[in-house]
Structure formats: structure tokens, C-alpha cells
Amino acid sequence: MKAVRLGVCVAVVATATLFAIESVAAQERNREQQSPNPQESNVRNPEPARQAREQSSQGADQKSNENAPIPPERTSVTHHDSTLGGKSLRYTATAGTLLIRDEEDKPYGSMFYVAYTLDGAQAGSRPVSFLYNGGPGSATLWLHMGSFSPVRIQTDSPKATAGPPFTLAPNQDSLLDKTDLVFVDAPLTGYSRAVGKGQPKDFTGVDQDLRAFDRFIIRWISVNQRWNSPKFLIGESYGTTRSAALADMLGNDGVQLNGVVLISSILNYNVRAGGYDTIYIGNLPSYAAAAWYFNKVQNKPADLAAWVQQARDFASGPYAHALFQGDRLSAAELDSVSKEVSRFTGLSEQYVKETNLRISPTRFRKEVLRDQRLTLGRYDMRFEGEDVDAAGENPSYDASDTGISGAFVAALHNYLETELKYDSTDAYRPSAGSIGQWDWKHRPTSGGGFGGPGGEQSQPYVAADLASAIRKNPHLKVFSANGYFDLATPFFLTEFDLNHMQLPEELRGNVQYSYYPSGHMIYLNVDALHQLRADLEKFIGDAVKR
């Protein structure tokens, strides 16, 4: 496959409300919400003018959906060849839509997907993986154009990517030689739409979203006769929230999975509840990784992993002890702990004391390189930004968002239209803009505790759902992929959640971890992508062994 030069000018107007948050601007890169807290949300947000347009348009969208026509399921099928690992591959790409049905067996949603299937493979034994981004309310163009599909957009990361023409090239890190790949756009994103009597509220919530994906996957494996294929879920950011609960929901519906891949995870939205210090403890090792990267560490050790382990030990030990004492912390211990926090983060002792030892992500991103008049990215702290001035508390934008968004959006549009021959009169929505209307309540997929009256949670804690899936399917394997420089979903918090699933000893080995010198989108670092691809090749192979 030849490299494709992209020279398109793309204007994307999403037609839904976007939640006003720290400017991680509209796409999931509306991408992944760590919390509904507007100061620390993971969702990307557009500029205010665009947000106002989207807010005014949502009411019209909702009215039009009251009598939305039910379109037929459609596909555009193209055939391709590629070389991967020195071997020639022929594969089929299917871009299309499938209808999902409600409890009355009436279509209420049409979900868009792009599937890559290896020609000539035995469907009964060939693995198939379902991939999606999160948001919530993000299309899957990020994973699709950046990670494991047969093609990949080339960026200048961690620098801002130069303008068009962009280059979409054959992806030597594709997983297509190991598994078929189905990239799925969440309801109301991409070309996915509510149909019939379906309304946005039928999709904009934790459990509503779960039901939609559950129904889509069952529909896809039925249409394509893949019930007997080994099956994997690969989700990123809020996509991991979805995967953790979806694994149990699918199992309850008779779909047994072989594995779940969690890329940059958020499994407990309660972590930011006011009055608790867990979030500060969870963030500190990520701050230490960034300080190491930018040479803010005195006597910097050569090995990042060893340095991060020191930070873990301090964060879960003396630092946690100090925070838990609250106002009873002695002046001597304050001095001692402040000195160590300064050593790990590169911030001054005085600044650490002024924050009462509690450093928010936005403050860290603004402060650590303030002397150079630079800010750090949130999704990927390797990215550097420049604000109007060096004062203030928070960065004015996320350089790891703005530095790549144009390239990804342009690549997706051009690729669908010119390579996959998929045309539509609808606009492709990188973001549904649904975060402001998201229903965060969650009823655990197998009932039980961890909830309020009737078992309902006000914020989703889905590590419990994943634990339920593993207990019921002791062959289910979980792979947790983490970027050291990801401040949207810090790896130490992921470790905490997965290590507190209360699994019996014989099942704890079902969960494995890996770490990469990258950020939230691990694949932006090509070297990290090579490592991630190799890790997943082994994970998939091991998970299908009998």
C-alpha cells in the first residue's frame, strides 16, 4: 500500500452540546473524561463560539429525532493488500452501519463501524477485536487513525504536527495479522445516529451507552457469523470504563470474551469526590515522570521506571501518611514531606507548602516549567505549550490536544472518502458533545454492592463489574496499558483500582500491566507503539490458547 498524501481542508461542526471544561478541545480528543469535574475533565472542548453554536443546535437535533427515519443497514466494501512483518496480507475493509434494537425489538440507533478482516482466514478460529475511544461522546478516529489499523497518520509528536498535506502510511504496527479489527463509533458520534423513536437520552449515559455497545457487538457477530471466534475488547480512556462493565454485560448475554485491553484507564469516577486525598497520591508518580523527562530532577537517575517506583513508594508511604493527618500534620513533618515532594516533582518547596501538599494537575502543568514560560500537555506531558503570559494558575490550552487534532480529523475524512469509498450526506462528528447531558448513574452489571439504594451508583465504579466478569469467566485475561506521561488517567490510580478488585488469589494473575514512555495516546510515540504492539501480540496469542 502506498503512502497517501492528504491535502484537505476540513471543517467539522458537531451538532450537540459540549461541556465547558479545561480546554482539551472537542474531540476525545473530546476524548476521555476523567471526571465530570469541569476543572479536571478529560473531555476536549471547542472554543466558546463553537460551543454556543452546538448548544443552540442540540434542541433542533432532539426535535428532529422524534420522527427520525430508519435507514437501511449499509456497507461499503473495499479490498486491499499490505505487507506486515515481511508477509503479504490481503484484507477486506467494510465501512458500514448496523441497527440496534430496543426492548420492544424496534430500531432506535444506527451505529457506524469500520471492520478489517483478513482474507482467507478461518472465521471460527480467527480472533476479532472491537476497538473504541471514549469521551464519553467521542468517535473512534483516534484509535482508528493512530494505533492498530492497516494505516496510520504520521505526526510530529511530541511537537505540534505541521499543517497539511498530512501523510497516511501503511502501519507496520497493525494487529491485523493477529486479529480482525472492528472500530466502532459510539452512538451520536461519527456517522452513528439515533433513529426511529430513539432520542439522545437513550444513549447519553453510562448504562445507556453500555446497552448500545452490547447490542452492536451481538448484532455484528451475528451478521458476520463470528459467534465462535475468540473475542477481545480494546478501549481507550472512557473506553476502558465502557469495557470493564461491558465485559460483564456481554458475558451475562452469552458472549464469552477471551480478553480485555485497557489503554489509559479510568475505572472509578468517585476518586475526585471532595474531601478525599486519593487523587493527589495517585498523581504524584506521574508528576515525577514528567520532572524526570524535563530534567527537573537533581542527580537524575538513568532509568525512568526505577525513578517512578521510588515515587510510588513515597506517594503510598510518607506522602499518604502526611495527607491523611490533615490539620494535625506537624511542622517538622510538613518540612520533611515538602522537601521530598519538591525532589520528585521539580516544584519548589515553598510552592509545595503553599498548595498544602495538594497539587492539582492544572497547577502542575502551569508551574513546573513556568521559569521557561512553558506549560505541559494534559493528555501527554511531553507536549509543551505557551500561554500569553507566565502568570496564572492554569494553562490556557492543552498542547497535546491542539498539536494533533487537525491531522487526525483530516486523515479520517480523506481516508473514508477516498480509500474506503464511504460517502454520506451526514456530517462526521468527532464528538457528540454529549458530556453536559451525560447520565453518570450506573447500576452494576451483575447487581451486588458498591452502590446506593437498589445497588445504583451515583458515579460509575466499574472495576467491580470487571471483577465480576473475571470471577464468572476465570479464563478472561486483562491487559492494562499505561503511559508514564499521561495526566488524564494516571497509571498509579489504575493500579489501585485493578489491585482492589478483591479477586481470589488464583485469578489475580489474569491481570497484567505494561508501561510506556508516552502519554494518554500511547501510540503517539512510535517506539512505544512498537512495544505496545509486541505486548498485545503476545497477550492475544496467550489468551486464545486452550
pLDDT tens, residue order, the chain (546 aa): 444 434 333 333 333 332 333 333 333 334 333 343 433 444 343 333 333 333 334 444 444 456 788 999 999 999 999 999 899 999 999 999 999 999 999 999 999 999 999 999 998 899 999 999 999 999 999 999 999 999 999 999 999 999 999 999 999 999 999 999 999 999 999 999 999 999 999 999 999 999 999 999 999 999 999 999 999 999 999 999 999 999 999 999 999 999 999 999 999 999 988 889 999 999 999 999 999 999 999 999 999 999 999 999 999 999 999 999 999 999 999 999 999 999 999 999 999 999 999 999 999 999 999 999 999 999 999 999 999 999 999 999 999 999 999 999 999 999 999 999 999 999 999 999 877 789 999 999 877 655 554 589 999 999 999 999 999 999 999 999 999 999 999 999 999 999 999 999 999 999 999 999 999 999 999 999 999 999 999 999 999 987
Q: Alpha-carbon torsion 67, 422, 525, 305, what sign? A: positive
The one-character DSSP state at 318 is I
Query: Cβ contacts of residue 501 below 8 Å, gap of 6+?
Result: 463, 464, 466, 467, 470, 511
Place of cell 458500514: 96
Q: Which amino acid is at 137?
A: G
Q: How far apart are CA 526 and CA 233, in angstroms?
A: 22
Q: What is the pLDDT of residue 435?
A: 73
Q: Contact, 535 vs 481, CB < 8 A?
A: yes
Q: What is the pLDDT of residue 21?
A: 30
The whole-angstrom distance between residue 100's C-alpha and the CA centroid of its chain comes to 23
Q: Which amino acid is at 483?
A: G
Q: Contact, 28 vs 44, CB < 8 A?
A: yes
**pTM (two decimals):** 0.89
Whether a cis peptide bond, with omega within 30° of 0, leads into 444 is no
Q: Contact, 213 vs 235, CB < 8 A?
A: no
Query: Cβ contacts of residue 109 below 8 Å, gap of 6+?
Result: 99, 100, 187, 192, 193, 194, 195, 198, 202, 203, 212
Q: Residue 460 to residues 439, 465, 513: CA-CA distances in angstroms? A: 10, 10, 22
Q: What is the pLDDT of residue 66?
A: 61
The 10 Å CB-count burial string (b at 16+, else e) for 285-313 is bbbbbbbbbbebbeeeeeebeebbeebbe
CA dihedral in degrees (97, 101, 106, 111; nearest 10)?
-20
The one-character DSSP state at 54 is H
Q: How far apart are CA 526 and CA 225, in angstroms?
A: 35
The whole-angstrom distance between residue 364's C-alpha and the CA centroid of its chain comes to 22
The one-character DSSP state at 124 is T
